[in-house]
């Protein structure tokens, strides 16, 4: 594989698949075809909007998306949430790095699922939100402020990002899957090393 990272704290399950002590799974994938991205990385607004739309089409929602640098190459760092299949409640947060080149790409994805009682973070923060922002406001207006898709607030459907998913709440809910996803991405990013042959491939232009 053309990408390596520090696997301290990650147990190998099979080739390219790892699990940490929280039960989260990291999956490393390589693709020898041109990346299926809606826009070049330089067009961040278009890339974000297209990702919002594709996430909503899958029944989920985009939490955040940024273009960063990994071992000297431009890459996408994003987190999306999707409903858990065959379960009435709960979501999975998928945090990922995508490193695109013109004819290939690498993806490192961390899957963080809700376990046990779900919705605790949302419930606690919603009560706080209502006490601070709900006085004298119509319910519809208030709920629009509570949850909307980032980068494209007019988009409807799916699972919009809500106020409880702001990064500032992570320290209050360290075991929540979104907190775990952000923590894993932050820890993994500076350890990532890309193979020289992959770095020498032509850059992705969209």
Instruction: Tell me the DSSP string of 104-157.
Output: -EEEEEEEEE--SS--HHHHHHHHHHHHHH-TT--HHHHHHHHEE-TT-TT--S
Give the pLDDT confidence of 57-76 residue by residue, as tens digits: 999 999 999 999 999 999 99
Percent of the chain past pLDDT 70, that is, above it, reads 96
3 contact partners, CB below 8 Å, separation of at least 6: 28, 30, 99, 106, 108, 192, 193, 194, 195, 198
Mean pLDDT over the full length of the chain = 93
* Mean pLDDT to the nearest integer, 166-170: 95
* Mean pLDDT to the nearest integer, 173-186: 96
If one compares 62 and 133, the residue with the highest pLDDT of the two is 62
* Mean pLDDT to the nearest integer, 119-133: 86
Res 108: pLDDT: 98
Give the pLDDT confidence of 16-51 residue by residue, as tens digits: 999 999 999 999 999 999 999 989 999 999 999 999
């Amino acid at each position: 594989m053309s990408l390596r990272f520090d696997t301290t704290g990650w147990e190998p399950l099979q080739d390219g698949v790892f699990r940490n002590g929280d039960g989260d799974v990291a999956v490393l994938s390589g693709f020898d075809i041109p990346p299926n991205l809606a826009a070049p990385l330089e067009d961040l607004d278009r890339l974000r909007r297209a990702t919002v739309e594709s996430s909503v089409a899958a029944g989920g929602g985009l939490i955040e998306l940024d273009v960063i640098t990994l071992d000297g190459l431009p890459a996408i760092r994003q987190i999306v949430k999707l409903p858990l299949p065959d379960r009435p409640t709960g979501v999975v947060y998928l945090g990922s790095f995508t490193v695109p080149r013109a004819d290939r790409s690498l993806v490192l994805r961390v899957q963080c699922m809700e376990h046990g009682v779900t919705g605790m973070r949302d419930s606690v923060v919603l009560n706080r939100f209502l006490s601070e922002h709900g006085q004298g406001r119509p319910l519809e207006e208030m709920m629009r402020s509570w949850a909307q898709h980032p980068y494209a607030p007019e988009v409807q459907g799916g699972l919009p990002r809500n106020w409880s998913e702001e990064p500032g709440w992570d320290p209050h809910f360290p075991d929540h899957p979104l907190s775990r996803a952000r923590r894993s991405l932050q820890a993994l990013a500076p350890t990532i090393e890309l193979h020289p042959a992959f770095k020498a491939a032509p850059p992705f232009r969209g």
